[in-house]
């Protein structure tokens, strides 16, 4: 089940009982039934909450739970702060950068920029790391270069797919992010080659 479907299912599970109760409150015939449901519901176990309240917090919470459940965790190497900084980089690149796409033979060249020095550093680090990891995947050729105020990423291969995904879609390809986060938190530096 996708995260969106899971999130919608959870929202509906939590929201629908409240909506039903509100509808019963305006229906005089339902008052006796609503009181009975309220008494019966008082002894029922409420649904478990699944959301951490903020995406980066939830990602860190998930990694911490895995580390704590593993008796082989080497706590002297754990670096949750490193994971937090990486999630800040992801947030900067996803939400705080500007992207210009240019059509090139067989694909696209993306200019990812910002006027904020912290965001520029995030862009340069994330783009270079992603290209180093994903070059050749899906038959794509990827190249990264630093440019003033950010980085450029050129991707060629299946041109229509590359152009359709655009920069941020290409950044999401490959389910390596979760493993990458666990490696960062465990003290490994997957950005070093």
The per-residue pLDDT for range 170-192, each reduced to its tens digit, is 999 985 667 766 777 777 765 54
- Give the pLDDT score at 184: 73
Q: 100 lies in a domain?
A: yes
DSSP annotation string for 66-127: HHHH-TT--TTT--HHHHHHHHHHHHHHHHS-EEEEEEETTEEEEEEE-SSHHHHHHHHHHH
Q: 190 lies in a domain?
A: no
Q: 152 is in which domain, residue-wise?
A: 55-185
**Residues in a beta bridge with 111:** 100, 152
pTM of the entire predicted model: 0.69
Same domain, yes or no: 91 and 161: yes
Q: 159 lies in a domain?
A: yes
Same domain, yes or no: 39 and 59: no
Q: 193 lies in a domain?
A: no
Same domain, yes or no: 94 and 65: yes
Same domain, yes or no: 18 and 59: no
Same domain, yes or no: 37 and 101: no
Where residue 111 falls among pLDDT bands split at 50, 70, 90?
Answer: very high
Same domain, yes or no: 21 and 91: no
Q: What is the rounded CA–CA span in Å between residue 101 and residue 112?
A: 9
Q: 192 lies in a domain?
A: no
Same domain, yes or no: 32 and 127: no
User: Phi and psi of 110, rounded to 5°?
Assistant: -110, 130
Interval 9-45: pLDDT, tens = 333 333 333 433 344 444 444 445 554 454 555 567 8
Where residue 52 falls among pLDDT bands split at 50, 70, 90?
Answer: confident
Is pLDDT above 80 for 109? yes
Interval 114-147: pLDDT, tens = 999 999 999 999 999 999 989 999 999 999 999 9
Same domain, yes or no: 24 and 59: no
């Amino acid at each position: 089940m996708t995260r969106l479907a899971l999130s919608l299912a959870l929202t509906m599970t939590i929201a629908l009982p409240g909506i039903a109760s509100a509808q019963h409150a305006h229906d005089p015939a339902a008052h006796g039934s609503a009181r009975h449901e309220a008494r019966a519901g008082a002894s029922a176990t409420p649904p478990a909450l699944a959301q951490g309240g903020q995406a980066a917090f939830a990602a860190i919470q998930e990694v911490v739970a895995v580390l704590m459940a593993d008796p082989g965790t080497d706590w002297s190497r754990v670096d949750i702060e490193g994971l937090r900084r990486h999630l800040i980089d992801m947030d900067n690149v996803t939400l705080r950068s500007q992207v210009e796409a240019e059509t090139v033979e067989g694909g696209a060249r993306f200019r990812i920029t910002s006027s904020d020095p912290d965001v520029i550093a995030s862009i340069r680090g994330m783009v270079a790391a992603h290209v180093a990891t994903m070059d050749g995947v899906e038959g794509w050729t990827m190249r990264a270069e630093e440019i003033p105020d950010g980085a450029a990423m050129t991707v060629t291969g299946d041109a229509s797919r590359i152009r359709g995904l655009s920069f941020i879609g290409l950044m999401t390809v490959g389910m390596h992010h979760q493993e990458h986060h666990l490696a960062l938190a465990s003290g490994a530096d997957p950005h070093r080659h």
